[in-house]
Amino acid sequence: MVANFIETYAKLIAVHPEQISVSVSEINDEFYEVLIRAHQIDVGKLIGKNGNMINSLKTIINGCKAKDNISYKIQVVAIDE
């Protein structure tokens, strides 16, 4: 659910939406890491000015913690071309 939401959101604001990929890996029972891979141009768009875009994503995803008691860490990585 979280990965699908983040992927859809990222593709809406990306210049190269076809290169967006999202993976979720479990760190432990209560902590997951969400990795967003994107084109170099899109990394800046996903992070946003002063980190506002990524912080808003983190805020929305942290709302899921109330439902399933899992914390999420979000990272944006540029893919090599």
CA distances from 17 to 25, 40, 69 (A): 22, 12, 30
Asked whether residue 77 carries a pLDDT value surpassing 70, the answer given is yes
Residues facing residue 55 across a β-bridge: none
Residue 37's DSSP bridge partners are: 21, 77
Give the domain extent around 67: 2-78
Residues 47, 31, 67, 24: is their CA dihedral positive or negative? positive
Judge residue 81's burial from the number of C-beta atoms within 10 Å of its C-beta, 0-12 exposed, 13-18 middle, 19 or more buried.
Answer: exposed
- pLDDT above 90 (res 60): no
Instruction: Judge whether residue 72 has pLDDT over 80.
Output: yes
For residue 46, the model assigns a pLDDT of: 92
Number of domains present in the structure of the chain: 1
pLDDT tens figures, 18-59: 999 999 999 998 899 999 999 999 999 999 999 999 999 888
CATH number at residue 23: 3.30.300.20
| Secondary structure (DSSP) of 20-44 | -EEEEEEEETTEEEEEEEE-HHHHH
Q: pLDDT value at position 81?
A: 63
